[in-house]
Structure formats: structure tokens, C-alpha cells
Amino acid sequence: MAREFARVGVVGLGTMGAGIVEVFARGGIEVVAVEVDEASATHGRETLEASTQRAVDRSKMAADDREALLGRVRVTTNLDDLADVDLVVEAVPERLELKAEVFAALSKVCGPDTIFASNTSSLSITELSVRTERPHQVVGMHFFNPAPVQALVEVVRTVVTDPEVLADVTDLAVRLGKSPVVCGDRAGFIANNLLFTYLNQAVGMFESHYAGREDLDAAMRYGCGYPMGPLALMDLIGLDTAYEILDTMYRQSRNQRHAPAPILKQMITAGLLGRKSGRGFYTYAAPGSPEVVADSLTPPPPGQEGGDQRTVQRVGVVGTGTMATGIAEVFAKSGYDVVVRARTEAKGEGVVAGIRKSLEKAVVKGKLSESARDETLARVRPTTTFDDLADCDLVVEAVAEDLEVKQAVFGALDDVVKAGAILATTTSSLPVVECAAATQRPDDVIGMHFFNPASVMKLVEIVSPITTAPDVTSTVRAVTAKIGKHPVLCGDRAGFIVNALLFPYLNDATAMLEANYATADDIDSAMKNGCGLPMGPFALLDVVGLDVSLAIERSLYMEFRVPGFAPAPLLEHLVTAGRLGRKTGQGFRDYQKK
């Protein structure tokens, strides 16, 4: 039988504590809320009243229900009033000694069957549990802000937590309408452990001038569908808060990837804390304002960088696969004459047929007129010879992801394409400079990484190796914007921006699963419900393909030699076993074959 929680206590009525009180009271449970003094207690009560009034104003709660909810809440300054509660949730400021003092006091006040829970986001539940006389009855119950809205609750077990206690708290979270996930006692738990490692890596990219803040943020929003870019999210969280979480994680793990990027400490010392101070990675209209205003780091719009740019009117595409076809369609729809080089006439006609099919769908959906369809198709000309690319101003290579094959293409282009033309590769992982080295014009070579499907995805990573001329980068950025895509600039390193940030995170999740720290379902749920990501890491890995993911992770590890980038053995074993994800029907999960 699941335990009945008739009355619960909450210690601390700050933003999180008041939100947790509201969650319990909404669930029909009597709540005793304790604060340190009358002023804090009054403020906490006012916070609860304001939150519930907003719910009434937005027609999300009836006025009578609000009155009943407030009637279930008793606010006090006396810890002894928690003597007969079934559960106490501690929600005081994130300081270990303060929380430990609360737990030690609760241990003397509460009945022998009372469960103790901490809402800490990063501190050790085990360290808190040993300050009580009943460590087996202590768990983490990490709500996310704002607690009445966010579905995720991380229920954290220690090595001595009673399984019945864990089950009772998990069932209670479900009863409250939350989506609980169970995990072990590790700094950051699931969501923060995975999230802040990723955020810290993005900050390191910015600090090293590998990519600008707008480009880093746009890459993850447009390339992965994330609701916010990493640096904008850091500003929202608060750089001081992020630093404390990372520092706590590092002190426990000694993982260098958890060590806060040095620029964070510098910015905090300078008072640049993010939105709340009016300036962090971005500058805001006022402290607390979400409105970003231009500052000295704001890049000019594409095409307005200053300096010379090259003229691009005719575009060549080398390749006949899905990416090549999509890229040809994008350029033709934007008014460029496109020459597609194929190995055979049949493959060339296949590209035209693929474009026609895509355009027909747009016509059927009312997104394109028949005349626009015909004009677009008229701009595409297939050929089987490189010579027909001689007059192109920009040639985009989109052949197989094999360095020798790409280098052969660039060598052939170097022989026939006119001087001053730009040569671009769509590689997603190979060094662009290696393609440039196959030519006698390395300053004209650049990376132009489209995402699949190219006709739909807005992001294009523009990769400039050290050899690329500035006017080439500026021209390609402007052309990318003209074809309706969002250009982001970065250096020539494995993974560019998106893969370099995404796949270490996926690898961290795999290592977390391999260590039996949490289940795949709970990890996926934590990242979807806690961080607002469109897919959990294991669902995404199965979609991408475990073999593809392994190849990318290996390339990242060989480039950076960071221990945390080494592919998790579990991923290697699944690939060896032929479990490659959805395409084989089995990956991290099993899929029904059609």
C-alpha cells in the first residue's frame, strides 16, 4: 500500500519553497510552511497569494478553489509545528551547512516515520542524510522552477535510502501531477549534470573565440530545435548560479569538463550576472529585462560586414544524393542558375525529378505557385562533366563523406572553375582545410554545412579554416542569408558548432545510463520535461543512428583528446551487436518493424 501523505511540511518560503507549497496544496494536501522570521513568513505567504491570484486571473483556477488552497496552508516560524507531518521538504538557500542544520533540527522534531526530502539542485543528499538519525528516510525531491508549472521532479536516492520511501515519494509526485524521474546521488542529478556540462562547453567555445555568442545560440536553436541557445540560457539562469552549480559538480566529480570556464569567474567579479544585472553574455534594456540590445559584440547583418564581396550569380552543385538535391533546390528557388554535376545522366535526371517532386508537394500545400515551380525547375541544369561548372561563381560539393573522394572533387574543380570562384564543401565532420589543400587556391575554399533536409532546415554552418580569405567568408554569409537560411560562423574543428556541442552531451547521457545511474526513460524524461528539449538523448540517438553517432564521437575524441569525449563503451557494444537505432528496429529501445 502506498503511503498516504495527509500533511506535509516545507522549510523555506523563497521562490522555490513557495512554489512547492502551492504544488502540495493544489494536490489537496495540508501544508505547514516554516520560515526563519515573521518578515520572511509574510513575504512567502504573499508570494503564494500572488501566484494563485495570477492563476485565477488567467482562468486556470477558480476563485473558490484558490480560497480552499490557501486554507490548506499554514505559515509559521516554529519548526516544532512540523512534529506530526508525514513528509518535510527542505527548500532553504543552496548552502550545505545551512541545509544540514535544518535536517539535524528536523530529526529531533519530527516523528519517527516522517520522510525528509531536500530540494537541492546540486548538493549531496548523502551528506545531508547523515546529519539525521534516519538516513534511510532521506531522499532528494528536486522540483524545477516555477514548481507549479514545471512537470519534472528528480527523486534522488542514496545508497541507504529505503526502497519503500523512494517508491512512496515517487508515487506522491505522480499524485501531484508531476513527471518524476529516479536517479542516484551525483552532483547535478540528471538534468543539471547533462545541461551544465553542455553549457560550460559552449562558454568555452565563446571564450576561445571559436564562435560568437549569436552564432553559438542560433546553431543550437536552428540545428537542434532547442528553445534557447546556451549563452542566452546562461544569462537567464544567472552566471553566478551557473558557476556555483558547476563548481559543486567539479568538486565532486573532478571532471575537467565540470570546471567552470574561467571567463565565468571574471564576468561574475565584474558584476555581469546575466539578465538580472542587465548584462551578461548579452546586454539587456534594463536589469531583469528579457529585451536584448545591441552592444560592441553585436555582429553586422549578413552582407553589411564592410570590405569587398564577390558576385555570385551561377551556382554549381557536385553530387546527386539527398543533400545535393536539397541544396540545388534551395539555390534554384532563390533565383540562382544551378548546374548539377552527376556521374551519369540518369543520376542527373534523378536530381531534377527529386526537385520536381519536392516542388509539387509545395504546390499542393499552397506554399508555391505553379509558375514559381516551373521557373525554379528551368534554372536547374544537370551535367556529367566538370567543365560545365567553369563559369560558376560558387560551387558546393555534396558527395560522400569520404576525404579522398572529396579531395578528388576539389582537385577537379581547381582545374576547371574560373579564378575567383568560391569552392565550398558540405562536410559535417571532415577538416575543411584538407579539402582546401587539394587545390591551388586554398583561400577560395570554405565549409558550407547544410542540415538535412536542406530544403527545410534553416541552419548553415559556415566553416572558415585559417586559409580562407575574409571576403569569401563575408560573401558566403550574405549568400546564405539570401537563400533564406541562417548562417553561423565557426572555425575548422571537428563537429563545428552543433555536433561539437550535441554529441558530447549524448555521450554523457550514455555513460550515465551505463553506470546504472538512471534509466533511459528517466534520462529522456528529465531532459524533455526539465530542459524543454524536443527529444531525450536516447530517442535522438536512435533517430540519428548509433553507428553514425559513434563515428562522430570518435572524430571528436581524436580531435580534442578530452577523456569525456571518448565514446561510452555501451555505445560501442550496441553498434557491434548491430543495434543501430530505428533503422534496424533496435537501438537503446526496441521498435516495431513495419
Q: Which residues are catalytic?
A: 121, 142, 154, 192
Residue 280 in contact with residue 274, Cβ under 8 Å? yes
DSSP 481-504: HHTT-EEEEE-S-TTTTHHHHHHH
The 10 Å Cβ neighbour count of residue 177 is 11
Please give the backbone phi and psi of residue 461, each rounded to the nearest 5 degrees, phi first.
-85, 120
Rounded Cα–Cα distance for residues 25 and 10 (Å)? 11
Q: Is beta strand 138-143 parallel, antiparallel or unpaired with respect to 152-156?
A: antiparallel
The 10 Å Cβ neighbour count of residue 342 is 21
SS3 529: helix
Burial grade of 146 (CB within 10 A; 0-12, 13-18, 19 or more): middle
Q: Which runs of consecutive H residues, i.e. helices, occur in 312-437?
A: 322-333, 345-364, 370-378, 403-416, 432-436
Rounded Cα–Cα distance for residues 21 and 11 (Å)? 10
CA distance to 85, 86, 393, 402, 407, per residue, from 6 (Å): 8, 7, 74, 64, 71
Please give the backbone phi and psi of residue 457, each rounded to the nearest 5 degrees, phi first.
-70, 135
SS3 427: coil
DSSP category for residue 6: -
Largest CA distance in the chain: 88
